[in-house]
Structure 1
């Protein structure tokens, strides 16, 4: 578990003689095994907060605890080897193969080569990259989505309990972003890492976050589930920031397969179980249907999802 206690990052302004706080009196607990999205407008302190957790930026006050241990008490290099890190620019080493890139941290930790090779192959398969096809390619031979998947595999290679992600999907086109996000959520359902993810994208935060921490001016505006922020905004700022269509945005984070219930599917348009609820709503509106029939990847009926299920989701 990651805990921030009265965390601050203060900078001196030589022109005014006054201090400027990028982060001020921030206290948060990131739940184990869940994704917490740090969301907010530009300059609100979300990236600074993320970088303080692995000490790329040193705080000027407060505490950072991981599993009860103060991370400020040890060496930053040792800390970073225990934390996976994924960034928007990916940062793959161009002169190394995909396999060598993913093996970077295990090699630094001195893990046996055979064990590392097996782990790398396992992770490439996990992120949807066939090892026989991709292990020996160079980063220049990959698409943006493929490179981002390699970045995720590299971050997971040493099996870190904590994963930090700074705008990890921001550089991808919308189609590739959706596919990589889906793949990542599938991985998270299996691995259940403790993840802190910075994003400026409201849709992404509501879709991927089990919890959302909305920051404003370096301070916490609201922390809770996506449903908390959408249905019970703590202030006018929260309501306005999420927008009047926040409920529709939230539906993008729900899969119709999780909402399906037994019912009469006769004459209803069919949708795949992994389709998000907002897209299912679009199908209902386009087809003039009161519900959709949900089928799995083998074409087997999973149930139906109607207006009421979407309203209550």
Structure 2
């Protein structure tokens, strides 16, 4: 879907990105990961020409993006940023409909699309359609931002630290919701993140950058178990395998036995890291696991915290 060929961005004598060759496969989420200043966001912004490359090419479905008017290019690419950027004078429905309205789409079809997308990101259309951004929590506003980016059904979605400003529980919930959305829609997603956990949980592939160059690209398992350099090993750290396990669903770690109705409970789809946060908050070492509100089992602290105990 997207190919970067010998991409450079130079400021004076200094390179922000240098000789970057990278392919983003159709229908997969690729996480651009790395320390601050490594060129992640610069690379993302060169894809939709918010920053013009100094050298090299960006190909979108085989076409050089320099051959497209910038506004045409950007209307075909969804864009989600950490600051969200909702228009404060517009309600939620109007914010989500921004790009379809710019493209002259049928208003009735757009209204139906807005309701469909609000439901998709976990916001009841009847409750949220008329709300203004000031009435939303940070997590709700970010969900609206995701819905707006998807409104014109773009094949490509660019995400720049999309969940970084949220508190840990809201971030975990929105990451889980986005993972489910991506499994359904299979967009080509390029996501910039400095959060190793987030990259390992959400990425089909992870591209680790270092000093403007590509250090390694591959699946999360590739980077964890087959690092190509000391930098990769050091950056991911010793707990990378544990963090990857913590992104899996609580249901994968359930303890055999009857479900206890008296325990604090969580949905089976919640990720293990969120469940651990709830246990710490509530001072418990056991949670009930539910499916559609009905208890189906229990999960213990040890099963979530220790690889190979009660889990995969």
TM-score by length of 1: 0.87
Q: Which moved more, 1:85-94 or 1:27-36?
A: 27-36
- 8 Å Cα contact 1:124/1:130 also seen in 2: yes
Give the equivalent residue in structure 2 for 1:146. Answer: 140
- 8 Å Cα contact 1:273/1:302 also seen in 2: no
Give the equivalent residue in structure 1 for 2:7. Answer: 7
Give the equivalent residue in structure 2 for 1:97. Answer: 91
- 8 Å Cα contact 1:10/1:60 also seen in 2: yes
The runs of 5 or more residues in structure 2 that have no matched partner are none
State the SS of the aligned residue for 1:212: strand
2:227 to 228, 233, 238: 233
**Distance across 2 between alignment mates of 1:176 and 1:264:** 29
- 8 Å Cα contact 1:4/1:65 also seen in 2: yes
The runs of 5 or more residues in structure 1 that have no matched partner are 13-18
Give the equivalent residue in structure 2 for 1:16. Answer: none
Deviation per residue, 1:2-44 (Å, 9 max, x gap): 11111111121xxxxxx21100111111121111110100100
Deviation per residue, 1:156-176 (Å, 9 max, x gap): 000000000001111111111
Please give the root-mean-square deviation of Cα atoms over the aligned residues, in Å: 2.7
1:212 to 206, 212, 216: 206
TM-score by length of 2: 0.87
Give the equivalent residue in structure 2 for 1:276. Answer: 271
User: Which 4+ residue blocks in structure 1 deviate beyond 3 angstroms?
Assistant: 263-272, 277-283, 292-313
Once the two structures are TM-superposed, the CA of residue 294 in structure 1 deviates from its matched residue by 6.5
Give the equivalent residue in structure 2 for 1:246. Answer: 240
- 8 Å Cα contact 1:93/1:101 also seen in 2: yes
Change (3 A) 1:295 1:97: closer
**Distance across 1 between alignment mates of 2:271 and 2:105:** 40
Once the two structures are TM-superposed, the CA of residue 273 in structure 1 deviates from its matched residue by 2.6
Once the two structures are TM-superposed, the CA of residue 264 in structure 1 deviates from its matched residue by 5.3
Deviation per residue, 1:206-248 (Å, 9 max, x gap): 1111111100000011101111111111111111111111111
State the SS of the aligned residue for 1:153: helix
State the SS of the aligned residue for 1:33: coil
Change (3 A) 1:100 1:131: same
Give the equivalent residue in structure 2 for 1:297. Answer: 292
Once the two structures are TM-superposed, the CA of residue 303 in structure 1 deviates from its matched residue by 11
Say how many residue pairs are matched.
300
Give the equivalent residue in structure 1 for 2:173. Answer: 179
State the SS of the aligned residue for 1:84: strand
Q: Indicate whether 1:123 and 2:117 are aligned.
A: yes
State the SS of the aligned residue for 1:62: strand
State the SS of the aligned residue for 1:92: coil
Once the two structures are TM-superposed, the CA of residue 260 in structure 1 deviates from its matched residue by 6.7
**Distance across 1 between alignment mates of 2:310 and 2:60:** 38
Once the two structures are TM-superposed, the CA of residue 150 in structure 1 deviates from its matched residue by 0.6
Once the two structures are TM-superposed, the CA of residue 186 in structure 1 deviates from its matched residue by 1.4
- 8 Å Cα contact 2:176/2:270 also seen in 1: no
- 8 Å Cα contact 2:288/2:295 also seen in 1: no
